[in-house]
């Protein structure tokens, strides 16, 4: 499952489809819905410095953010290993829940 970067009329976005990611089972096992809104929360918790500069536009079946090419490239580098690893996403969920963060999924 690939993370895609788009440039449409000078507007830059990053998207990926959810529901068939390697990390989805770990998300569901933790009691969350593996949808675009869950991934928004994960990004906001794990990389708040990048997240504050992005505009989120996710849907149930897709994660989508709009931002600068450099912020989107940074996010892609950070996210790629997480969406491919149940252990990595489990670790972030545990840290988030321990800190009191609530996912809006």
**Number of separate domains in the chain:** 1
Q: Which domain holds residue 76?
A: 4-98
**Three-state secondary structure string covering the chain:** CCCEEEEECCEEEEEEECCCCCCHHHHHHCCCCCCHHHHHHHHHHHCHHHHCCCEECCECCEEEEECCHHHHHHHHHHHHHHHCCHHHHHHHHHHHHHCCCCCCC
pTM value is 0.93
Residue 25 within a domain: yes
The CATH number covering residue 83 comes to 3.30.1370
Q: How does pLDDT run across 37-80, given as a tens digit for each residue?
A: 999 999 999 999 999 999 999 999 999 999 999 999 999 999 99
Q: How does pLDDT run across 5-33, given as a tens digit for each residue?
A: 999 888 999 999 998 899 999 999 999 99
Task: Write down the residue that tokens 């593996």 correspond to.
Answer: 34
């Amino acid at each position: 499952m690939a993370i895609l970067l788009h440039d449409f009329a000078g507007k830059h976005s990053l998207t990926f489809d959810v529901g068939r990611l390697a990390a989805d089972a770990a998300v569901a096992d933790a009691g969350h819905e593996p949808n675009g809104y869950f991934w928004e929360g994960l990004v906001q918790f794990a990389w708040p410095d990048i997240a504050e500069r992005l505009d989120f536009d996710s849907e149930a079946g897709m994660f989508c953010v709009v931002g600068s090419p450099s912020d989107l490239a940074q996010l892609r580098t950070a996210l790629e290993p997480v969406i491919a690893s149940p252990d990595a996403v489990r670790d972030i969920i545990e840290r988030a829940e321990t800190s009191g963060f609530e996912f809006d999924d």
